[in-house]
Amino acid sequence: MPFHAVSRTTVPLCACLLLSWIAPDCRAEVLDVAAPVRMTPDAFSSGDYESSPTFSNDGREVFFFRADAGYRRYRLLTSRCVDGRWTPPVAPSFAMPDVSEADPALSTDGRWLYYVSARADPAGERLDIWRVQRDGYGDGRWGEPERLPEPVNSAASQLLPRPQPDGRLLFGSSREGGMGQGDIYLATPGAGGKWNVENVGAPVSTPANEYEAELSRDGRVLVTVANRGTTSHLYVYDRRGTTWRERGRVPARTDVFQVGPLLSPDGRRLLFSQADGAERSGEWFVVDLAPDADMAWPPRCGSGTR
């Protein structure tokens, strides 16, 4: 079973007790901000679960993934803004049919796209981090995907790879040797294609299950997806010198999980996915984390949103 599917389940009571030093009864303070607003483009909204969008720098191209109503069977999709409308989403050229692939993320320069795929696992369950390069000097076609080496990938699943402006890679993993059921890791590239991977550590990684993270471009705001006892929610952290301090939980629904956090370039707005009623299993929502957020973000194509 893919890590995405199991990460939403309940954390054992012992883990909740170990977390008492973070928030009593595993409940963080809720941020005093306006409620999230649904904003899935009409062209993408469906009865399935749309999640984890990533936009090109000009805002005219988007990649995301769609899961079935049970949040399984993930498939990558892409769309372009043409004549004021998003084109019908289609699988990108590098996607592998009939294999779970998810969590796309474009690099800052737009030349690389990182994502997770089960294509290397004969059982089709373990999600590894892959990346593919775009020909920036030709017709913009994508090359052949490459699997990142160990220790970036492991015997467990990796989720939501987020390339940083300095070349490092932020991601979540349920690998052995962590602080809990899942932790947040930062990988630094080195010479000869080698990588050094470090656990981000407390208070971001805990005895509970942190499995996705998003970092603002200036490195001062961090958002994690963590299951602290009931289901997975979004938690915001602020950088204070060399340490992180938890700001609170995003005021999203408490009866369903949230996933796929994406911060605006200024770190003041957050885009994520959660279930929305009986007709749509998963939609995109946006919430302002701070005043004076850029209302033009995320990028829009025409006026059609739901």
pLDDT at 20: 39
What are the structure tokens assigned to 172, written together? Answer: 């979540």
What is the C-alpha separation between 106 and 189, in angstroms, rounded?
A: 17
Q: Has residue 59 been placed in a domain?
A: yes
pLDDT value for 54: 98
Q: Which pLDDT value is given to residue 69? A: 81
Determine, yes or no, domain membership for 12.
Answer: yes
Does 116 map to a domain? yes
The verdict on residue 305 lying in a domain is no
Residue 18 lies in a domain: yes
Residue 230 counted as domain residue: yes
> What confidence tens digit (pLDDT) does each residue in 198-249 have?
999 999 999 999 999 999 999 999 999 999 988 999 999 999 999 999 999 9
pLDDT, residue 306, reads: 53
> Which CATH number covers residue 205?
2.120.10.30
- Can you say whether residue 279 is alpha, beta or left, with left for phi > 0 and alpha for psi between -120 and 50 degrees? alpha
pLDDT along the chain (306 residues), means of 10: 50 40 58 96 94 96 93 93 96 96 96 97 96 78 96 98 97 97 97 96 97 97 95 97 96 95 97 83 95 95 68
142/160 Cα distance (integer angstroms): 20
As a whole number of Å, the CA-based R_g of the chain is 18
**In-domain check, residue 298:** no
- Kindly provide the residue ranges of all beta strands, DSSP E only, lying in the chain, ordered along the sequence: 37-38, 49-55, 61-67, 75-82, 85-86, 101-106, 112-117, 128-133, 146-147, 158-163, 169-173, 183-189, 195-199, 209-215, 221-227, 232-240, 243-249, 258-263, 269-276, 280-288
CB 131 within 8 A of CB 125: no
What is residue 157's predicted lDDT score, i.e. its pLDDT?
Answer: 97
Question: Rounded to whole angstroms, what are the CA distances from 207 to 2, 16, 38, 44?
Answer: 20, 8, 32, 36
What pLDDT is attached to residue 245? 97
Residue 301, C-beta contacts closer than 8 angstroms, at least 6 positions apart: 41, 60, 81, 84, 85, 86
Please give the residue range of the domain that contains residue 272: 3-288
Number of domain units in the chain: 1
Residue 248, in any domain of the structure: yes
Long-range residue pairs from 148-155, CB within 8 A, at least 24 positions apart, any chain? 148/187, 148/195, 149/193, 149/194, 149/195, 151/187, 151/195, 151/196, 151/197, 152/187, 152/195, 152/197, 153/128, 153/129, 155/126
